[in-house]
Amino acid sequence: MDSILSEYGENFGRIQGILMYKDFLKYWNDVETFQARPDDIVIATYPKSGTTWISEIVDMIYKEGDAEKCKDAIFNRIPFLECRNEDVLNGNIIYLCRNAKDVAVSYYYFFLMVPIHPNPGTFSEFVEKFMNGHVPYGSWYKHTQSWWEKRKDGQLLFLFYEDMKEDIRKEVIKLIQFLGRKPSESLIDKIVQHTTFQEMKKNPFTNYTMMPNEFMNQKVHSFMRKGISGDWKNHFTVALNEKFDKHYEQQMKGSTLKFKTGI
């Protein structure tokens, strides 16, 4: 066992070198051999980028804006398909990404509240792990860039959390159109209203309160923590920010993928 893996403990393993929850590895073969149908929709995200938010919006589109039909835990309505062989992926894909600094902040608090994780240490120690990809799902830099390159293949709608924060109506219209539906004002209104941070925070089907405390301890803080862009400014010191930016430039060199780092 390598030193990173031993720090994470028995509930973690590696797949293709990437750190992963062991429970997700059990069915890895099924994940790899999964065949999407052309009318399937796959949502892809790096953790803490707004997976729950985009999932609720997509399900509301499918349920034609009827929130009554969305009354089951979000992870049952939109099940996780963690990782798979992209070559056989012929369904439509929605990729949602979020700037690295806010993801690192959100991930840090996720480590603190979900006891399966090792103690993340100080924020700056955690950021070091994040920069090295020593977190579940591995390197944010590789994840986002590989999906950014795939957008050219078509069938992929690439969205940004920051754009959703800035103008949710615009992004919801893009989603409705991508899913081949008509963006009526009434459908957009219902979705926008139902998926605000405040609504999703109090909705037991999206706020993960259905999970027992032993799995997710919402006494530490709620799963729906802040839901803002730019919270990194409250966590990164000037020195840490400079170090992060330097590393970021190296990792993203040559990439045309650009983020808004705070609205």
Ligand X SMILES: Nc1ncnc2c1ncn2[C@@H]1O[C@H](COP(=O)(O)O)[C@@H](OP(=O)(O)O)[C@H]1O
Q: Does 13 bind ligand X (CB under 6 A)?
A: no
**Please, which of residues 196-215 interact with ligand X by CB under 6 A?**
196-197, 200
Site for ligand LN4DG7MM in 105-144 (CB under 6 A): 114, 116
If one asks whether residue 207 binds ligand LN4DG7MM (CB under 6 A), the answer comes out as: no
227 binds ligand X (CB under 6 A): yes
Q: Which of 77, 117, 194, 225 binds ligand X (CB under 6 A)?
A: 225
Decide if residue 97 touches ligand X (CB under 6 A).
no
Task: Determine if 183 is a binding residue for ligand LN4DG7MM (CB under 6 A).
Answer: no
* 99 binding ligand X? (CB under 6 A): no
Q: Does 52 bind ligand X (CB under 6 A)?
A: yes
Dihedral, CA atoms, 46, 50, 55, 60, nearest 10 degrees? -160
47 binds ligand X (CB under 6 A): yes
Task: Report, in Å, the least distance between residue 38 CB and ligand X.
Answer: 26
Is residue 144 a contact residue for ligand X (CB under 6 A)? no
Secondary structure (H, E, C), the chain: CCHHHHHHCCCEEEECCEEEEHHHHCCHHHHHHCCCCCCCEEEEECCCCCHHHHHHHHHHHHCCCCHHHHCCCHHHHCCCCCCCCHHHCCCEEEEEECCHHHHHHHHHHHHHHCCCCCCCCCHHHHHHHHHCCCCCCCCHHHHHHHHHHHHHHCCEEEEEHHHHHHCHHHHHHHHHHHCCCCCCHHHHHHHHHHCCHHHHHHCCCCCCCCCCCCCCCCCCCCCCCCCCCCHHHHCCCHHHHHHHHHHHHHHCCCCCCCCCCCC
Is 77 a binder of ligand LN4DG7MM (CB under 6 A)?
Answer: no
Residue with smaller CB distance to ligand X, 92 or 229 = 229
* Contact residue for ligand X among 12, 13, 51, 77 (CB under 6 A): 51
Residue numbers 168-187 binding ligand X by CB under 6 A: none
Footprint of ligand X on this chain (CB under 6 A)?
45, 47-53, 102, 106, 109, 195-197, 200, 224-227, 231
